[in-house]
Structure 1
């Protein structure tokens, strides 16, 4: 028991469940509404993982193709969020692997330039997130930005809840250190 009081899901989650159910029944308009609601969230997460707006949008389109092809097999519409983010995570990982392979074959340098000065807090946060290992960055993005629970993060990352909790703990510690200038 986590000590949390059980509460009803927010209206947005219930609406998403309804949309998923309607999409599974063949309602194209519901699919368009679901995509309109989820496109910004998936794009934001892809940009955080890939660090490239253009690549992120392409990966999100690929993820949507997989989501719409496989939505009929989603047994529990309430699990749409972790299921969709899991698909996105796999598409981002595929993109990163392909990009690394292309750089190796072309002989490009794989290091990105480091930004010397922080212009504002948003830049500091982006840099702090970018400095996190990929697994911690995804856990932090899903928790702090997308509002997923530890169980949902574990499902997206295909790890036990304890591992997701550890990743989030370390990400939080590193973000705090980076943002307050502490070298912990």
Structure 2
């Protein structure tokens, strides 16, 4: 689901109301954003429990900081930046403890039921991407963020974000067309 201009405007309105003290607006924003953040975290971490924990931590940080966000139009990039940091922290922990990573991967494989051959093929193509390329592709294709917002979320230059998205596109296209991928 792409992030439309209408969605952006509505989220800006909700954030403005939150900053004015409207608790219900916060609940509405949480209801709108939790599924999006969860979807992105699941794809980055490849483990539902770790993703849920990362989203909870990210949402806690978002709630603590949203009153200080001066430009409500920056909310999507700001929220994904917080989530990206939480997921990166978890990936770092997983890399330090390989046995935990293996158990999490096995759990994810058995707990996620494929929803059609195309979904499986696309998921496998995304799984073959590097973490950086996967993040760029997920934020662009899955969440509708701009190159500038992706650069902000990942803490990279715009050129780096463009390059990562370009390479992710090439690799996804090759994987989905059953072509050999460079470097394999």
Match of 1:73 among 42, 61, 68: 68
Q: State how far apart, in whole Å, the 2-side matches of 1:28 and 1:103 are.
A: 42
What corresponds to 2:129 in structure 1? 132
Cα RMSD (Å): 2.2
Q: Tell me which of 128, 146, 150 is aligned to 2:147.
A: 150
Which position in structure 2 is the counterpart of 1:34? 29
In the TM superposition, 1:32-71 aligns within 5 A as: 32-71=27-66
Residues paired across the two proteins, number: 171
Larger Rg: 1
Q: CA deviation at 1:58?
A: 1.3
Higher RCO, 1 vs 2 (CA within 8 Å, ≥6 residues apart): 2
TM-score norm. by structure 2 comes to: 0.85
TM-score in terms of structure 1 length: 0.85
| Mapped partners of 2:102, 2:90: distance in 1 | 17
- 2:12 counterpart residue number: 17
Q: Where does structure 1 differ by over 3 angstroms across 4 or more consecutive aligned residues?
A: 108-113
Q: Give unpaired runs (5+ residues) of structure 1.
A: 1-8
Tell me, in whole angstroms, the C-alpha distance in 1 between the residues paired with 2:177 and 2:16.
Answer: 45
* Structure 2 equivalent of residue 6 of structure 1: none
CA distance in 2, matches of 1:112, 1:22: 41
